[in-house]
Amino acid sequence: MTLLELLQLLKRHLFLVIALPIVCAIAAAGVCYTMMSNTYTATTSLYVLAENANDNSSSLGSTLNASQLVSNDIAALIKSDRVMNGAAEDLGLENLNAFKISVNSQTTTRVITLSVTGKDPQQAADAANAIASEVSSVAQQVMDVRSVNVVDEASAPTKPSGPNRPMYVAVAFLAGLFLAIAIVVLKDMLNTRVSNSDEVEKLLGIPVIGQFPAVKKG
């Protein structure tokens, strides 16, 4: 099937090609805007200084490397049961399973970024600060860390970070469009009827030399 044939086929089923994507988009919008709650992300940053770090400028490179390595370890420590359970206890919660927690540790800095996402902006900020405080305490106890200082305390976000409703609606629209095209093409492939002389020539491989006009009964 050539592109021109496909376009002609879609034109004959234009209603389906237009209606199905719109229906899918409307359905997705209904779900997104009525059933999906807003989520909020609070972020805090921690500065890591290794125990063997000193203020001598000649050892600045080794100090930075040591702190970066420790930063990677602390990034993993943040999600440990000890830190999570301690932070939950500080907040008076049974656990922190209601939050999505992500950690970013850059290889070129000593700073760790901790992000906590939840349905309530203040609770997300409180959880981020509690985790930062807990990991700072635990890291100094069990690792070669002099000090995991909070650079920026998390504050309650004023705008939701998700869900990305327009994206979901757009994806649903495109899915509906592809589904409509697939239905039209499949229906055409399964249709064995010959509807015009061009199809006869294509099917038999010989030219059509004449046609009988359709005659209505009566």
Mean pLDDT in runs of 10 for the chain (218 residues)?
Answer: 84 93 96 94 86 52 62 84 94 93 80 93 96 88 72 92 95 97 90 69 71 66
For the segment(s) 40-152, the CATH number from 3.30.70.1130, 3.30.70.920, 3.40.50.300, 3.20.20.220 is: 3.30.70.1130
Closest C-alpha to 122, from 194, 42, 37, 28:
42
Tokens for 41, please give them: 């992300």
pLDDT for the residue numbered 74: 83
pLDDT for the residue numbered 47: 84
Q: What are phi and psi of 151, to 5 degrees?
A: -75, -50
Between the two ends of the chain, the Cα-to-Cα distance in Å is 39
In the chain, list all ranges with CATH 3.30.70.1130: 40-152
